[in-house]
Structure 1
């Protein structure tokens, strides 16, 4: 890939017009047009400005890709700025999804606390449920268009930046694993109380602790959903090819074919379609993108 193609792709990725790029580089639109058409080449000072603007190395800008040296390099170049922006976006979205699910779970709490006051618990359930739906749907509907291209194109990343991401993930891995385990344990402990009572094993001894169990489940779900989403975001960028293989192994297809999904789809219940759609969107968010193989660029 020649310099002209790289400059064109980087400019389009940022959403700059030729005039906007020329203004940032203190040059003319005609000069930018010539560079992109392969009719000229910027001087060293402009090359440094281009590298700083798009956060790419000068070596990447100058080095042409050899078309016949092994596998042809195709795909969407993901700059460091875009990757960092995507991770910040995923962090924001994961917080909203986790908070929304937590509020929906907590909506059952008023009934357990104010069981003798139907009006009170009904109002509180509606308020918590509505808040949960609003927060949850704001995450689902709050897609940023600029990241949609990551779902459609192979990803090209600078090897140096991938190494930075790997080092960062290695530092966070133990923390993330601990949070996921704690979150899953909280959900399991809270849910176990209801299972034991339903099976008649606890014989009513755990009923007074139902509110605490609901809080445990809500907190555990928040921790689990948020951390898993962040983990999968790193996994998508660092180990994209392995991520693809796991995703293509049929995880989502198995979920769709599960007994619960089949049962709900068979019901003549208008709420079932809504429930299924929300569940599908949630799982799509937890597995953030339809990943495709990633290739790395050498940066010297």
Structure 2
């Protein structure tokens, strides 16, 4: 017996699909396919994990005959099988995908909202305490902004690390969502999107009503409701996006399967198309990264070096007539829109070549 025969037998014995075994091992389904086609051999850690799952020795798995062992009743009939049990029936979430994505849908928007709320508090508290100023801005404002950024990063950085680790551990997830699940997610996203837009409109209304009498308070309410709206839109958007498991598998595969693209037994045309698509996505990511970096620079300049109505810069002092500081956050909005436009155009031109 060969390793391929043993693996196929063990999968069949436990009523396990290639996708389910791939999820348990933290590999792609294509890897399982290659092992069973004898086009690749798993690394030692994966072999040991298989031995642990199926309660067998490495020698038996690689060169032995596990079908004979199963036929004779196994080494110890009373032993509890170590292989994780795969539920029968429709596909199930056996790797914690839904729970992970729900956590991400809380952490990411909370991090974004914390940064915006820090700026909002900065406007509200500006001048409340006599602190030293920097580049014309009140020291308390700078402190509130920095604390908001710190709080936001405390959510965003761990979330990014957790998501990267999850993708590496589970490069393929079997689609277990039903149409009812997707319908509920779309309905919830519609409500979240409308409530988010309503919050932003409410913030603009508060700013227009209070701008004449209390400019800082008007800016506080503007950014507060923008933060609330951004949280709603991002949260419910991520919950909707989690149901598109095919996109998750595709995006993770693009990041982790370059070697597989080069060694897979496919024709050169298909391989070239896969590699070209990966390179295109890398180019789009690089361009969008540069755009958002530029947007960050522009936004910080607008905030800390505002331009007056006459169009002159006043470096080193706060310009009370400056208008750009009110709208510095638009730099990221414009940057995001430009990224979307660039992505569409680059894909469109690439498809014509």
* Band of TM-score, shorter chain: 0.5 to 0.7
Deviation string, structure 1 residues 120-173 (Cα, Å, up to 9, x no partner): 33322222221112222222233343523766xxx674xxx64x5322232343
Match of 1:204 in 2: 212
Q: How many residues align?
A: 234
1:124 matched to 2:144: yes
- Please, which of 124, 127, 141 is the counterpart of residue 161 of structure 2? 141
Match of 2:57 in 1: 29
Q: Relative contact order (alpha carbons < 8 A, sep ≥ 6): 1 or 2 greater?
A: 1
Deviation string, structure 1 residues 27-49 (Cα, Å, up to 9, x no partner): 54369627997754746999xx9
Change (3 A) 1:239 1:88: closer
Match of 2:84 in 1: 53
1:222 matched to 2:231: yes
Give the C-alpha shift of residue 96 in structure 1.
1.5
Change (3 A) 1:190 1:113: same
| TM-score normalised by L of structure 1 | 0.55
Mapped to 2, the partners of 1:107 and 1:126 lie a distance apart of 7
3-state DSSP class of the match of 2:84?
helix
Gaps of 5+ in 1: 61-77, 284-300
Deviation string, structure 1 residues 206-245 (Cα, Å, up to 9, x no partner): 844332222111111111111111111102349989xx9x
Q: Is the 8 A contact 1:107 1:126 kept in 2?
A: yes
Give the C-alpha shift of residue 52 in structure 1.
8.3
1:87 matched to 2:95: no
Change (3 A) 1:251 1:41: same
Mapped to 2, the partners of 1:177 and 1:44 lie a distance apart of 58
Gaps of 5+ in 2: 12-17, 26-44, 75-79, 129-137, 255-276, 302-330, 340-353
Mapped to 1, the partners of 2:192 and 2:112 lie a distance apart of 17
Deviation string, structure 1 residues 8-55 (Cα, Å, up to 9, x no partner): 755564238666666666x54369627997754746999xx9898341
1:165 matched to 2:178: yes
Q: Is the 8 A contact 2:173 2:245 kept in 1?
A: no
Higher alpha-carbon Rg? 2
Mapped to 2, the partners of 1:270 and 1:37 lie a distance apart of 67
1:99 matched to 2:110: yes
Match of 2:245 in 1: 236
Mapped to 1, the partners of 2:6 and 2:87 lie a distance apart of 12
Match of 1:72 in 2: none
What CA RMSD, in Å, does the superposition of the two structures yield over aligned residues? 5.2
Change (3 A) 1:225 1:156: closer
1:181 matched to 2:198: no
| TM-score normalised by L of structure 2 | 0.48
Change (3 A) 1:34 1:41: farther
